Amino acid sequence: MASRFVERSAAFFPHLWTLISRPFLFLWTRLLRKGSFDSPRLPEARVIPRDQHTISRKDISRAALNVLYGLHKGGFEAYLVGGCLRDLLCGRQPKDFDVVTDATPDEVHRLFKRSRIIGRRFQIVHVRFGREIIEVSTFRAFQRDDMNDDQHLAHEETGLVLRDNAWGSIEEDALRRDFTVNALYYNIADFALYDFVQSRRDIERGVLRLIGDPEQRYREDPVRMLRAARFAAKLGFEPDRATAEPIPRLAELLLQVPPARLFDEVLKLFLSGHARASYQELRELGLFPFLFPETDLCLQGDQGETWEAMILAAMDNTDARLAEDKPVTPAFILAVLLWPVVTARLDKYRADGVPPAPALHKAASWALDQQIQHTAVPRRFSTVMREMWDLQQRLPRRGGKRADTLLQHPRFRAAYDFLLLREQAGEIRAGLGAWWTRYQQVDEQERYAMTQALGPNQGAGGDGGGGNNGGGRRRRRRRGGRSSSSNQG
């Protein structure tokens, strides 16, 4: 009877019930924590008052402030957390603002009309204000025996966390963060910073330090190793010895991570304005072979220096475009990263007597099939990559109306940039790129003169695709006469 009355009371007075029950639940969970031998000692916050830090509300987005004040007004704790505070202290403009609270996802959802709960492994709430989305998460608890309920927590034998929706306190939440530089909290109630793990000191010193036992944390979520590489590249911070040492020997744990999730991490690594530094960190920490294994094998081969020069040039090109607010596409950087694999396979098929166009098609399919086992490449990008690779065989054939036709191709510009990178790295001899550069700059009459000057073979030759000289399909005559063909190389 009593339990039924409680349920009915909660249904009729949800907000009142929350206010009444929350202090008792909080006290009860604190008592449980004190009795648990699995829980590490909780840290005390170093409170940095408003007059001792540089973070101001005028630097925080209006949407984030609305969420913070909405939670505070609803009787909940509300903090900004993580990368946004780190970036503000480093003099950078944050791309987004994350909020953390003691309210559960259901409570947050009830508080904000334009919100929705997402995620299974980690439940969070997205609150929408116009075109901006603020991510709100609940304080996370430790993985303790008393909370080992399949409804909240699931593990693999390797230590990988599969699902984790156990709620805790701000102290526990701070220890559950990955790196100290991401574990600062800004309290909307008093505008102070709450520092549990010497976050501010590490930010000022430029040190990247993992919270807790590094090996255990990497086993819980192997993607943390990629995050270590990304933050080191983005911030220019140096990982401390304890953080960096286990990564090379634990890198194979990335094989447990779904390829779709690794693809998202690859985009963050290479399309955030620090692609070259990210690539170098991945190579130094031994992570690159588990993201692009076939490419890594090519980098160890005879043409390794050439391929690395091309990859680094592509990274620099991507970083420069982002710095100038120019658009970039994942297809371009992925096409460059997989080009060594495509050309190696293409040479094998050509040696077996397969004509250039079918050989390239088979090589591209093989390279993509191998890659998606590690980092899933969506079809919308792989299709563009195939077109860019195909155009490398077609760009040398410029005679007649071919040049004008190629110029109108929707992937011409990307393929042209790709060609310039190949020449810059020394994979193919220079000259073709300069021809196409001039062709785009002159008028129609001069273009006609350029194509006429190519000679009798009409520009069918040239080293255009992975060591092949263009090549084209044979056209049969109706009556068994001699077939005419372009230069096969």
pLDDT in tens, 190-205: 999 999 999 999 999 9
Comparing 30-39, 124-133, 301-310, the range with the smallest average pLDDT is: 30-39
Smallest CA-to-CA distance from 221 within 181, 261, 183 is with: 261
Q: What average pLDDT is seen over the chain? A: 85
Q: What is the set of active-site residues?
A: 96, 98, 178
Q: Tell me the average pLDDT across 429-446.
A: 95
As a whole-number percent, the residues of the chain with pLDDT over 70 amount to 80
How far separated are the first and last CA of the chain, in Å rounded? 89
From 130, 124, 123, select the one nearest 66 (Cα to Cα): 130
Read off the pLDDT of residues 380-427 as tens digits, 9 standing for 90 and up: 999 999 999 999 999 999 988 999 999 999 999 999 999 999 999 999
Q: How far, CA to CA in Å, does 463 sit from each of 39, 345, 364, 394, 456?
A: 64, 17, 18, 10, 17
Angle in degrees, 0-180, between the axes of helices 379-394 and 330-351, rounded to the nearest 10: 60
For residue 402, the tally of other CB atoms under 10 A from its CB is 17
Which is it for the CA torsion 332, 333, 338, 344, positive or negative?
Answer: positive
Bridge partners (DSSP) listed for residue 484: 475
Pick from 102-106, 208-212, 469-473: least confident: 469-473
Mean pLDDT of 369-385: 96
The pLDDT, as a whole number, for residue 43 is 85
Contact 375, 291 (CB under 8 A): yes
Does residue 473 surpass a pLDDT of 60?
no
Average pLDDT over residues 127-146: 82
**For residue 99, pLDDT beyond 90:** yes
pLDDT digits (tens, 9 = 90+) for 29-78: 444 344 333 456 788 889 999 999 999 999 999 999 999 999 999 999 99
Q: Which residues contact 316 (CB under 8 A, 6 or more apart)?
A: 275, 276
Q: What is the DSSP letter of 444?
A: H
Residue 400: per-residue pLDDT: 86
